[in-house]
Every structure is written in C-alpha cells, then in structure tokens.
Structure 1
Amino acid sequence: MPNPASLSPQRLPKTLKTGVKAAVKHDSAHKHVSGEALYIDDLPEPRDLLHVYIAQSQQAHAKLTRLDVSAVQNFPGVVAVLTAADVTGKNDVGPVLDGDPIFADGLVEYIGQSLFAVAAKDIHTARKAAKLAIVEYEPLPAFITVKEALENQSFVLDSKTFRRGEPEAQLPQSTHRLQGEIEIGGQDHFYLESNVAMALPGEDCDIKVFSSTQHPSEVQHCCARAIGIPDHAVHVEVRRMGGGFGGKESQPALFASIAALVTHHTRRPAKVRLDRDDDMTMTGKRHDYLIRYDIGFDVNGRIEAAAFEAASRCGMSADLSASINDRTMFHLDNAYYLENVSIMSHRCKTHTVSNTAFRGFGGPQGMVAIERVIDEIAHHLGEDPLTIRKRNYYGIDERNVTPYHMTVTDNIIHDITAELEQSADYAKRRADIIAFNHTSPYQKKGLALTPVKFGISFTATHLNQAGALVHIYTDGSIHLNHGGTEMGQGLFTKVAQIVAEEFQVEIDRIKITSTNTEKVPNTSPTAASSGCDLNGKAAQNAAITLKNRLIEFAAQQYSVAESDITFTPDGVHIGTQTVPFQELVMQAYLARISLSTTGYYRTPKIHFDQSTGKGHPFFYFAYGAAVSEVTVDTLTGEYTVDRVDIVHDCGDTLNPAIDTGQVEGGFIQGMGWLTTEELVYNPSGRLRTHAPSTYKIPSCGDRPQEMHIHLRCDANRENTVYRSKAVGEPPLMLGISVFNALTDAVASVGNYQACPKLDAPATPERVLLACEALRSFNRAGG
C-alpha cells in the first residue's frame, strides 16, 4: 500500500474549506474595514431627491391644540409638509396593536413624538423651516417612571401571571424568607448606523424602499398601509445594517412610512436619515424594570417558594411589549428550579418613547433579578453564592419543570459550570480575593460565576417560519436569497456556508444577495436569535430539493442508482465517474431540469397557551456561564473588570470565528448595560442622555484585561441546521457576571454580612453609594 503522504496533491481527495464548521470570515469584513460596504446613506442619491426632517413634540403628554405649518410650507426650498391629515391610508405603524401614530393627531404622549415632516431640497433647509411651525399644547398629567405608572394603575396591556405549585401556601412555611426589589435600567441600542430610509417612485404608484431594518416585511406592510395601497406595490430591500440589536425590528417602520408618504405625494425620491440625537430621542430602548421578590428557602439555600412581581416601562404604546414582558416571565427562572412559584407581569404605560426589542428581548432583566435573589440567599446563609447556585440548578431527570410547565430535557449547565470552575480556577481565586479584601482597606475585589439558560424560538409562535430562494446558473454559480437580514452578525456568511456544504462547493461560488420582499415574501424579523435556525434551514431545504433533482437526473442520464451519486469537493461522483459540478448543472439545464426553487422551514414542537401560561414555547435552550473578576475603588466607586472566563454552548458550531465574535461582543454589550449605560430622563420626561457625550457605551479601555472564551461545541439534541445552536442573544446574559462581581466586591466593605442594595446599571455613583451604605451599616453595628 502506498504511503498517503507520498501521494501527489492532484491525487489527494479535496476537502471543503468553506463549508460548515469552517472559520470563514464575515463576507463583508474587508468591506467594513475599507469603507467599501454600502449602507443606505452611501447609495448614490437619485436626481430630485428630497431630504426629510421630522419635527418632534416638546411635551410628554398634552393635547395638541394648534399646529400651524403654513410658514413652513412657504419657506424657500421646501417642497412638501406632511401632517396627520396627509396620511392617505392608516395613520399608525404599530407592529402588533394600534397606538403608534405616524404623526400626532390631537394628542402627544412623549417628548420626541413626530408632529409633521418637512421635505426640502436639503436637510438644512428642512430643519430651518420646521422651526417656523406654530405648535400649541394643553399639558396633561404625565407618568414618567415605572413607580408613577404603578401608583396610577397606568398600563398599556393587561397584567399577566404564570403559576406553578402553591407559592402562597409554601412561603410562610419556609425555614427562611426574604423580600426585596431591584431596579434594572434600560439601554440604548447605539448602533453605528442610525435609522435611515430612502423611497423611490415607480410605475403605477409602486414604491421601492431601502430601509435599515431587521424586518423588511413589516416595513412593507406599514408603508403600504400608510399610503393605502396593496403590499405588492411596495418593494423593500436591505443589504446590510450598521448594527441593529433589536432596535431596527419595529422602529424603522415609522421612518420608512414617512419617506414613502413623501414619495407618494410628490412622486420624487425621499430620504429620512436621523442624526444621533434625534435617533436616541425618537426610538425605543430596552425596557427598564422594577422587580419585587418574596423568596422562601431551606437551611441549605434551596428555594422552596418564590413570588415575583415584574413591572416594566413600556412607554406610550404596546409596540412589542407583550412578547418582551412574556420573555421576562419565561426567564425569571434562568437556570434554577422553582417548584412553587408565581410570576406577575405589569406592562406599564408611561409618557416616554415606546420601548422595544433589544438583544435578549426581556429575558436578561428577569435573569438579573433571580441572580440577585441567589446572592441574597448566599449572604443570608454565609455561603459562597456559587454553592447556592449549584444547589438550585435544574436537575437532569427530576427538578426539571419550568414555571410555564415545560420540561427541560437538554440541561448541560452542570457540566458547563464544572468545566468553567476548573478552567477559571474559581475556588483558589475566590479564596485569594477574600484574603486580599481583608487586608486592602480601599481597593476591593469581587468574583462571580453566573449561568445562562436561554430559550430559543419566537414566543409569538407564528413568527417561527422562514423562506429562501436558490438559483443555480448554468456555469455552476449559485444565487442565494432568504428572509434574514444582515446587521453585522454574520448571518449571510453562515447561510452561504450551509448551502455550500449541501452542494460541496466552495463559498465563493455562492452570491449572497440583499434581503428583498420581492424574492422572499412574508418574512419574520431577524430576531430572537433565530436568524440562522430559520433561514439556514429554509436555505438548506431549498438546496436539498435542487440536489435531489440533480441526483434524479444524473441517475437517469448515467444509468446508475441514486444511492451511487454523491456530491464531493472533487465533483459529483456518479458511479465510477466524477463529473464537475458545473458540467452536471449544464447537462441538467439542457435536459430541461429546473435549477431554481424555494425552501421553507417552520420550527417544530413549539406551542404555548397564553390563557393558562402553559406550553412548550422554546425548541431548545442555549447554555453558558461566565466568571468575572472586578476591582473597585471604594472611595470613588470607580472600577475595572480585570478578567472574564466564559464557556458558551453553541451546539455543533457552523462557524467558530463568527460564533466567538458573537460571544465576545454579546458579553461586552451585556456588561455595558449593567455598568455604564445609563438612561436619564428628567421629571418632565425629556431624555438627557441622547448623545455619545452623555451616554457611555463600553470603550476599548473598558474591555476586561483578560478574556478567555471557550466554545462548547456538542451537537444540539434537536434537529437544527447541522445540529448548531443560536449564538446571537444568549451571550449578552454572560455580562450579568460582572454585575454580580461588583455586588460581591461591594459586599466585602461590610465583611460579607449583607447583600448590597445595588441597582443596575451599577455606575460608579451607585457603587459608591452602596459602599457608603454598608459603611453606615457597619458603624450602626449592622
């Protein structure tokens, strides 16, 4: 037998270099760096383009008693001014329920609400002209905070409760009981590309809209509805976004609808492009929460009963708050078994911008609350918080039913925790930190390991579907289109890898094309971490259909059994022959075999009964855990994140390079939410943190000095695309470990005798106040 190493390269079988599991770079990475990547504002501006400025309310809640735009209309360079009276269809862009008017009509409900739009030859003219409008208000009572809304029973939706077991009966019987509350702040998406839309007129009143959106179909529906034309008359396209994080799921519909209305009225192209201040003022954020808890537990810290009351600031309308608050309820357990539990959710109406989707979609807020509960139990019993965490974890074959009555069948959190404890040297570092804190009067260190168990699927069941379109051209090149959108997360690259793997061709043979409502209709948003699960499966199904057609043709053409035909990187093996892929494709074309098809996928096994709060809302869970170490200056409240160790479950990874980037980026974004990113509204409801000068996202210097990330790549037990798992949202919750590490550091100021009352975000000011509270506690004899 010849030595395989001695075979010439020509005789060695080829391997697919860019299929699934390969660390293929993001398809636009080099364009992002070079500036060649085209975003909407980079597209060539068509002749006669109108630039649109949106005038905003300066009152949080008021009757709009007068709106006179005659001077605006007469300003030189102004072509059109649109108010509510100029909306020819429906004056609403609510994604689920009505309540989000395009232009205010007699009532304003937050500072920043759109009043009218000015279309002019340039944006400077439009802005200048807008100032000439006469706007008069009759102020009404305004509720700005969650607590104000609760006191006044102000809700956008009915409250809801999940219940399992008998918490009311078990709480008084518990050996130990604690009660408390935590305030959890919101977060601005702070994508690099602000909201932008450009509308172009077509024949027969058709309109093409370029929109920076995660949900092209919703933009299509809203634009058509605003004008009063069928959906088929509006064509929406998006090649890429400069970030989304949920902020471009429902929010872009307003700006695209205004651009479309301007084009409809003027028959000229129109562009709406928000600057950073206007974007932050006009668009929704992550919901901020007040979560109260009543917990009963035994001498070992195992939770016996729990009652949660979670109230969120939804803003002036429902937007996506129903599903967001539901997901908070679904994730208030995180990785912990709660046998007797009630979870009540209040969806509070405030006179602030409607809050909306954000990476994690309500889940992170619930998980922060239960992690605070675990810390409180640990401090009460004088135990290591990790010990209490592990005692409360879901079991494998028992203690495995969630508060919404779903059985957890894929639990790997015990294995992940054990692996991370060892790789991060948790026990030794914790002992060293406690010793350090006893001898360091002002610098205090903290350490925390927190788990993640995150459900994957849209909780609105009907959204768990996707379509794709695949063409094979006669030269063997492949055109790929699907309903997912690219916002920098690498979705297009992963789906192209999936198609490449099916055909056993390199990825450079595949053309990745813009998301387009003319090619794949009725798409779900790229959200809920399901972009690759759904669109990847749809594209795979399309590729399999075409591959089966080619196999059937080849079997007849070459008189071989279908089982004797395989696709390989060398070509298609047909019996004893190897035919180049492109040659087989041309043969099929000449034989009149269709080389184009659609693919479709809907997630199996999922269902949920909203009336009973019971069901199986998630296809599977993604798991992870992080250990974070921090150092706090207790005299100033300033702190650094020194090190983080992460083990994250990504199933059988489709692309380890992209998945690692998602884990690192998600962690940093979660860390930022819980530390420096503070949204501040003044009592009148005006957002004061509406620019980079006043809103602090993590910078390069805030990144942990050491980051150790390990992808756990065990195949998903469920039949996902190539047994992978979602890696979009779950890593954000790894950042909770930083918040708990800060809590641990502050607790050392009081010799770990009490759990600090530290709310999120844990800004240096809040950390300092928490330190001072513990010093006062000590002086009072705590």
Structure 2
Amino acid sequence: MSKPLPATPLPPDEAPLRHVRQPLPHDSAKRHVTGLAQYIDDIREPEGTLHVAIGQSPRARGRLVALDLDAVRAAPGVVRVLTAADIPGKNDVSPAFGDDPMFAADEISFHGQALFAVVATTRDAARRAATLARVETLHEAPRVTVEDALERGESVLPDYSFGRGDAASVIAGAPVRLEGSLRVGGQEHFYLEGQVALAIPGEEGDVHVYSSTQHPTEVQHVVARVLDIPDAFVTCEVRRMGGGFGGKESQATQWAATAALAARITGRPCKLRLDRDDDFKLTGKRHDFRSDWRIGTDETGRILGYEVDHLARCGYSADLSNGVVDRTMFHSDNAYFMPDVRIGSKRLKTNTVSNTAFRGFGGPQGMLVIEHVLDQVAWAMGRDPLDVRYANLYAPGRDVTPYGMSVEETDTLPALMRSLERSSDYRTRREAIRAFNAGSPVIKRGLALTPVKFGISFTLTHLNQAGALVHVYQDGSVHLNHGGTEMGQGLYLKVAQVVAEEFGIAIERVRITATTTAKVPNTAPTAASSGTDLNGMAARIAAGAIRRRMAAHAAETFGVPEDEVVFRDDRVFAGNESLDFGELAKRCVQSRVQLSEAGFYKTPKITWDRAKGTGRPFLYFAYGAACAEVAVDTLTGEYRVTRVDILHDCGRSLNPAIDIGQIEGGFVQGMGWLTTEELVFDGEGRLRTHAPSTYKIPVASDVPADFRVALYPNTNREETIYRSKAVGEPPIMLANSVFCALTDAVRALDPTRPVPLDAPATPEAVLRACEAMRGRPLG
C-alpha cells in the first residue's frame, strides 16, 4: 500500500507550526467509520414530513402530447402531484443559460427527464404512485452520439478556439507528421450519498433547505427563482456530503428546488432522495469526447505545431459545459510547449442527460489526448516516450501557454520527473520489461511515466472569492464558518488548522460548523481545487483581525508594544505577563473589544479575455508525475496494475496525511475512469449502465499492491495559504500513466502497428486492440 514520505523538511529560518503542516486526522474520521456522521438522510425528520418521488419520461426525445395523472393522484398515501403548472416562479434550474426546466412541460429532451413529482406520506408510496402515470408522446429519433450531433449540426453553445501562429502550415512542413483520433469516455460520479434534500417551510414564505450540495449559494438562488421569492427568504445548509466530485456543484439544485416547491405547496417538511438507479439516469456525468488531432515535430520529437478539435458530448442543455470544455482546452498542452498551436472545440447537443462538472472539470480529457499523442510520436521515431516528454516540457524561453499565460515555475516539473524516474527505477525496469515481452507471447507488460501540470483557480473570474465568519467567545472557544463545503476531502479540518494556528490555541477549541447561506453569503462552489486556497485565506483574514484587536488590548493592559504580544500554546504572552487565551477573551468582552469578524478574500492576479483567447486564468500550477506498470493477458484482455509510483507537488502541505489520501483517492478514481468505468447508452438514449451491476468502479482489490505515494518538497511561490498548493483535482490526471502503460503493453504484440485503444480501456476494449494488433480484428 501507499508509503508516505516524512513531513516535508522546513527551511532553516522557519519555526515549526503547531497545527499547520501537521498530519492531523480528518475531523469526522471516527464518525465516518462508526456510522455516526450525519448526512441529509440521517437528519431526524420533523413531524409530518412528506416524501417526494420523480415521474420520468419514457422517451429520450419528442413532444409531450398528454400527461394523465389521475391514477397517480388516487394512489394510496399521495398528498399532492406537482407539474410545471404548479411552479410560481421560473421553471428553470439551470446554473446560467435558462435551458434546464425543473419539469418538462412540452419538449422531452432525454430518457428519464422529470415530468412531475409525487408528494406522499412515505417514500415507498410516492415511488409506487409515480409509475402509474399515463404519458403520451410524439416520438422523435434521439441524438445520442457525437456523430449524431455532428450530422444534425446542433450544439448547446457556440464553437470556440484559441491558439497562436499558423499550426496548419507548420504541421504541413514538419519533418514528422502524424494525425489520429482518440475517444475519451465519460464517468459516473458514484458518490456514496446520492442526491438528497430536505425542505422545511418557515414563516412568511421562508424555507430552510438541507441539501447535499457543493454550492449552497446556487441552491439558495435557484430555489428562490423557482418559488419566486427573494434569495434572503431561502437558507441552504450542508454539514457534509458523502462525496460530490463535481456532481453536486450544479445538479443538486433540481432536487432541492423540487423539495422546496413541495414544502411551499403542502406547508409541510418534504424530503426527496433519489434512488441509485434514478440518480444514474437523472444526473450528468463527466463529458465524453472525440478528439481529432494533428501534430508536426522535428526529428527528435520536439513539437513544432499541434492542432486538436475536442468534440464534446454535452447532453441536452449547457449546464457547466462552457467552463468544462474551456478547461479541456486550457489543459490540452498539459506540460508541453507548443510554438504553433490551434485548440478548437464543439459543445454538441444530444438527447442525453446534461453532462456536468467532474473532478478535473474537463482538464483530464485534454491532458490524456496530448499524452496519447506524444506516445505516438515517440513510437514513430523509435524513442522512449519519456525522453520525448522531457524534450517538450516548458522551459525558460519556451514558457508561454497556447492561451498566452507565462509558466513562471518551469524548474519544478523537470526536477520532480527526474526524481521520480530515479526513485521508480524507470530505466532499469524499462529494459527488464523489454526482455520479458520478448520471451512472453501471451502476457505483455507495459510501463509509462507521465506528468501533470494543472491550473488552479476558477476560470470564471468572479467565482474566485470567499468569505468566512469567526467568533471568539469569552471562554476562549472559537466558532468557525465559511463558504466551503465538506465532501470528505478534509477542507473543514484544514481551515480549522489555519484558525487554530492564527490564535495559537488547541484545535479542539475551534468549533467547525455547517456551511449555511445564513452566515456567509454569495459563496463560490467548493470546486476547481480552490476550497482551501479561498476559504482558508478568508478564515485567516478574519481570525487575524480578531487576534490583532486582542493583542492591542493586551498591549494596552500590560504596557507593552503590540508586536511583543505573542499567542502560543493556548496562552497569550505580553512582556513578563502570561494569561490563558480564554482569560484574555473574557477581558476583551468586558472591555467591549469586538471578537467577531467576517473575513473576505479574492484571488489576485487572474485575468481572462475569452474573446481574445489570452490572459492569466490561473494563479499557479500544481505539478505531479506517476509511473505505472501493468501486465496484460493478451488472449483475454484482462490486466493488472502491478506497481504505481507517484510524486506530487502540494507546495507546503497544510496536512500531509489528508493530502496523501487525496492523491491516492484521486489516482484510483482516475484509474477507474480510464479502465473499468464505461457508460453505455443504447440507440434510444437509455442509459444501460445505471447500477453497480453494470457499471464498475474500482474496488479495494484494484488498488495496486505496490503503491508508492510521496510529496515533492516544494513551496508555492504565490502567496497562498501557508504557501500550500491545491490537491483536490490534480491527482486524477496521474492515472494517465495507467492508460499509457496499457497501450505500451498492447503495442508489444507488434511495434509496427498503431494501437487502436480508446478510453476507457476495459478488458473488452483491450482484447479488441490485441486482436487488431494480431491482424484479426473482432467484429
């Protein structure tokens, strides 16, 4: 299993910190493993709570001709049936573009789309009643695939491209020219806690919504829009989620708004919890792509020109596809300099549920494509792919991205990769694998070492802000609230570490409280790996302001300069005087010193001009690299990932234990995306892989037995919270090494042929590729 490094060594001029950079356990770890952690469905239901179920479309495309709900209304336990006609405000749960109705009223756009909701005394009664509706439609042939959408020329958003130079001409004149296409599959979020919301009506139209969401402000806003009430009438609260991964950024809103509408109309608390199969059918996935590419290089494999067109299957509405596909484009270079480049995209409309945010937010798809392309370049030249990767890394003088941002930290990634090359014994293992494959006609081994360069910040500039609320009570205990949400990633703990460090007190004195729009307004979603960067800094600003006021009072009381007041070890030292932190808090209250503060932080330096395709959309880059080895049975397509070595840059890690856990989990989730997690829609637009029986996420036995994870000793050169770097999303892309290693193993059957392997590389796909390499393609 994973073997973490010791704590990153500190520079000699920096004293150790009490909480920050320490491997403290997750604040809910014991409650997670004992089952005591409370999720939305665990909240004690108020007397009279009703339950909501969704009535779904039996077709993927067509017109709704008639909807007979008489049998539904007459079913046992049914209190009310809701349709679009019952919505007092806008029938729209979209995050931006107004194209996502809560209930379809005329046009049907995907199989399973919500047509109505049943409100009943029990969840079972509501679900049973929902099946009794008689739905009459005028059926039309659905668009399901990228090719269907291209044929009809339909998109949810306009085409978009950026780049520099004349890539087409440079490629045409390059010594080495290659082209191809790679299909990159989608991915189901498969969070442990499904979509769920509990809405409780209040006085004068108020509603309190408990939602499993990454974006409480979005839920607040959409509920208010649907109910036609001011945002201030809606409070959204979430203590924790059982996983989110992006699936609860924009798509928690529909279920919260449906529950809130039911509560508004019935005057009773209402809860909606999607069944797992329905959650699969009714919520979006990672975007899948067909990426068509052309590249021209010199004789050493150095890129001269690159063109890629990302054809994204977005589903029936825009949702977050604007930002997702833009980020695919931003990361189409991954870690490599491209002198002449054009990166294009189409955001295609299909009659499937709208795809949405997923950990990495489009970045993994763009990065996988260029890693695949560089493998093709290396093999065409007879070079080791790692050497071609080294030749193309950003470097001084070769340090501007296709979107005009300078890569200021060009030394970290080459050094990190060289370090991993040595620690993983890459060169020796490469020779050993070559010898093994020469003598093994059936089992083939593969090896790949791939880098990660991932931009940190929301590319929608206004989202790069956060607020935090800190109270110090007169006994010295501290109340902490901020706009970030906890989905298991340890955000709450990290921010609490920051606040405890600021006051010099035990972390047990800091009370972590549920995220709520009633305390911190207008928050950004917990996404884009920015949760700690934003909320940690806002909390530090708030705590710092209180500490300075407390220090000023202590300095005045004891007759010492303010800079001689020190907060340490739960005490406050002022000259020769020392007192407990709680005692100083009590004295401040008695002297009318304000011990509450709302901190606010906005990310500096970032700019992005989308029309011109240039700017600085990211504050900094996080880096990493992974070396993966696989063994493939070429007669069955089955394979094992036998060893993985990871070295990852978290800057000055706020919590090495949490960060290593995020790296391990992110890598395994990425490995699942690229190997076993296959989404299958039939020709009628129905999702056939809608349950654990047909959709395979990685399990414990899929984790490599030899799994070595280490943090790269580094510091963030930008002024982030304690010079740390984000860690939520970048580890997903470390799994590109597994896909490249599988392709490397299959290629060993015949190094003269291109390997026809797309992602996900399921055993069936690997077998098809192996048979094609033998010249006997499967039907």
Task: Give the Cα–Cα distance (whole angstroms) in 2 for the partners of residues 300 and 106 of structure 1.
Answer: 58
Residue 529 (structure 2) pairs with residue 529 (structure 1): yes
**Equivalent residue, structure 2, for 1:66:** 66
Measured in 2, the distance between the counterparts of 1:91 and 1:530 equals: 31
Report the counterpart of residue 3 of structure 1 in structure 2: none
Tell me the secondary structure at the aligned position of residue 776 of structure 1: coil
Aligned partner of 2:649 in structure 1 is 649
**1: CA distance, partners of 2:76 / 2:366:** 53
RMSD: 1.1
Q: Deviations over 1:64-99 (max 9, x none)?
A: 000121221122311010000001101001001111
For structure 2, the residue ranges without an aligned partner over 5 or more in a row are 1-14
Match of 1:408, as an amino acid? V
SS of residue paired to 1:563: helix
2:451–2:734 contact (8 Å) kept in structure 1? yes
Which region of structure 1 is more displaced relative to structure 2, 66-75 or 489-498?
66-75
List per-residue Cα deviations over 1:491-528 (Å, max 9, x = no partner): 00000000011111111000000000000001100000
Aligned runs of 1:534-613 on 2, under 5 Å? 534-569=534-569, 571-613=571-613
Equivalent AA in structure 2 for residue 138 of structure 1: L
Q: CA deviation at 1:131?
A: 2.1
Kindly state the Cα deviation for residue 566 of structure 1 after the two structures are TM-superposed. 1.4
Give yes or no for contact 1:375–1:755 (8 Å, CA) kept in 2. no
1:511-530 mapped onto 2 (5 Å cutoff):
511-530=511-530
Post-superposition Cα deviations, 1:245-304, rounded to whole Å, max 9, x if no partner, equal 000001110000000000000100000001110000000000000000010011000110
Per the alignment, residue 113 of structure 1 pairs with 113
Task: Kindly provide the amino acid, as one letter, of the partner of residue 594 in structure 2.
Answer: S
- Residue in structure 1 matched with residue 299 of structure 2 by the alignment: 299
Which residue does the alignment assign to 2:161?
Answer: 161
Q: Is 1:743–1:755's contact at 8 Å kept on the other side of the alignment? A: no
Tell me which residue corresponds to 2:468: 468
Identity among equivalent pairs (%): 57
Aligned to 1:772: 771
TM-score normalised to the size of structure 2?
Answer: 0.97
Counterpart for residue 457 of structure 2: 457
Question: Which residue is equivalent to 1:693?
Answer: 693
* Match status 1:56 vs 2:72: no
Q: Aligned to 1:36, what secondary structure does the other structure show?
A: coil
Corresponding residue for residue 763 of structure 1 = 762
For 2:229 and 2:374, how far apart are their aligned partners in 1?
Answer: 54
Question: Which residue does the alignment assign to 1:716?
Answer: 716
Give SS of 2:327's match. helix
For 1:151 and 1:174, how far apart are their aligned partners in 2?
32
Residues matched between the structures, number: 762
Partner of 1:281: 281
8 A Cα contact 2:180 2:293, kept in partner: yes
Structure 2 match to 1:632: 632
* Counterpart-to-counterpart distance in 2, 1:147 and 1:372: 22
Conserved in 2, the CA contact under 8 Å of 1:653 and 1:713?
no
Distance in 2 between residues matched to 1:254 and 1:457, nearest whole Å: 26
The yes-or-no answer on 1:704 pairing with 2:704 is yes
Aligned to 2:206: 206
Superposition deviation, residue 554 in structure 1:
1.3
Distance verdict in 2 for CA 1:570–1:318, change over 3 Å: closer
Report if aligned partners of 1:18, 1:507 keep a CA contact under 8 Å in 2. no
- Quote how far apart the aligned CAs of 1:16 are: 8.4
In structure 2, what is the Cα distance between the partners aligned to 1:128 and 1:669? 35
Separation in structure 1 between the aligned mates of residue 468 and residue 197 of structure 2, nearest angstrom = 24
SS at match of 1:749: coil
Distance in 1, Cα, partners of 2:17 & 2:475: 21
**Residue equivalent to 2:684:** 684
Matched AA of 2:69: V
Q: CA–CA distance in 2 between the matches of 1:91 and 1:18?
A: 51
Structure 1 contact 467–599 (Cα < 8 Å) conserved: yes
Within a 5 Å distance, the mapping from 1:182-201 to structure 2 comes to 182-201=182-201
Contact (CA 8 Å) 1:57, 1:112: kept in 2 or not? yes
> What residue in structure 2 maps to residue 753 of structure 1?
752
Q: Is the Cα–Cα contact under 8 Å of residues 164 and 340 in structure 1 kept in the other structure?
A: yes
Q: Within 2, Cα distance between the matches of 1:246 and 1:18?
A: 33
Q: Distance in 2 between matches of 1:754 and 1:555?
A: 77
What residue is the counterpart of 1:35 in the other structure? 35
What letter is aligned with 1:421?
E
Question: How much does 1:18 deviate?
Answer: 5.3
How far off is 1:755 after superposition?
Answer: 3.3
Residues 250-329 of structure 1: pairs in structure 2 closer than 5 A: 250-329=250-329
Provide the rounded CA distance (Å) in 1 between the counterparts of 2:301 and 2:357.
Answer: 35
- 5+ unaligned residues in a row in structure 1: which ranges? 1-14
Alignment of 1:158-557 (within 5 A): 158-395=158-395, 397-411=396-410, 412-557=412-557
Report the TM-score, using the length of structure 1 for normalisation: 0.97
1:629-681 CA-to-partner distances (Å, cap 9, x unmatched) read: 00000000000000000000000000000000000000000000000000000
Partner SS, residue 38 of structure 1? coil
Structure 1 counterpart of 2:25:
25
Q: Any conservation in 1 of the 2:506–2:570 contact (CA below 8 Å)?
A: no
Give the 3-state SS of the residue equivalent to 2:296 in structure 1: strand
Alpha-carbon separation, structure 1, partners of 2:674 and 2:570: 51
What's the secondary structure of 1:101's corresponding residue? Answer: coil
After superposition, the C-alpha distances for 1:188-222 in whole angstroms (9 at most, x for unaligned) are 00000000000001111111000000000000001
- Name the stretch that deviates more: 672-681 or 558-567: 558-567
Asked if the contact 1:416–1:624 (Cα under 8 Å) also holds between the matched residues in 2, the reply is yes
Q: Verify the 8 A CA contact 1:18 1:24 in the aligned structure 2.
A: no
Counterpart of 1:6? none
Cα offsets for 1:466-506 (capped at 9, x unmatched): 00000000000000000000000000000000001111111
- Whether contact under 8 Å (1:16, 1:506) holds in the other structure is no
Alignment check: 8 A CA contact 1:179 1:295 kept: yes
State the one-letter code of the partner of 1:715.
T
- Name 1:80's counterpart in structure 2: 80
Offset of 1:388 from its aligned partner? 0.5
Deviations 1:697-737 (A, max 9, x none): 00111111101111013110000000000000000100110
Query: d(CA) in 2 for partners of 1:17 and 1:78?
Result: 59
The secondary structure found in structure 1 opposite 2:749 is helix
* Alpha-carbon separation, structure 2, partners of 1:570 and 1:170: 65
C-alpha contact 2:558 2:577 (8 A) present in aligned 1: no
Conservation of the 8 A alpha-carbon contact between 1:284 and 1:355: yes
Measure the CA separation in 1 of the matches of 2:612 and 2:205: 47
* More divergent stretch after superposition (570-579 vs 635-644): 570-579
Moved runs in structure 1, 4+ residues, more than 3 A?
A: 15-18
**Where does residue 4 of structure 1 map in the other structure?**
none
SS in 1 for 2:293: strand
Work out whether residues 17 and 501 of structure 2, in 8 Å CA contact, stay in contact via their aligned partners in 1: no
**CA–CA separation in structure 2 for the residues paired with 1:459 and 1:126:** 41
What secondary structure does 1:408 align onto?
coil
Question: Are the equivalent residues in 2 in contact too, given 1:628–1:641 (CA < 8 A)?
Answer: yes
Residue 487 of structure 2 aligns to a residue in which SS? coil
| Separation (CA, whole Å) in 2 of partners of 1:177 and 1:571 | 68
The CA deviation at 1:777 is 8.0
1:49 CA displacement: 0.7
1 CA distance for matches of 2:169 and 2:566? 63
What's 1:7 paired with?
none
SS of equivalent to 1:347: strand
How far residue 17 of structure 1 moved from its aligned partner, in angstroms, is 7.8
- For residues 242 and 485 of structure 2, the distance between their equivalents in structure 1, rounded to whole angstroms, comes to 11
Letter in 2 for 1:503: F
Match of 1:102 in 2: 102
Amino acid at match of 1:762: A
1:147 matched residue in structure 2:
147
Residue 754 of structure 1, CA deviation? 3.1
For residues 228 and 393 of structure 1, what CA distance do their matches in structure 2 show?
53
Secondary structure of residue in 2 paired with 1:357: coil
| Cα distance in structure 2, aligned partners of 1:16 and 1:429 | 39
Distance 2:570 2:222 in 1: 48
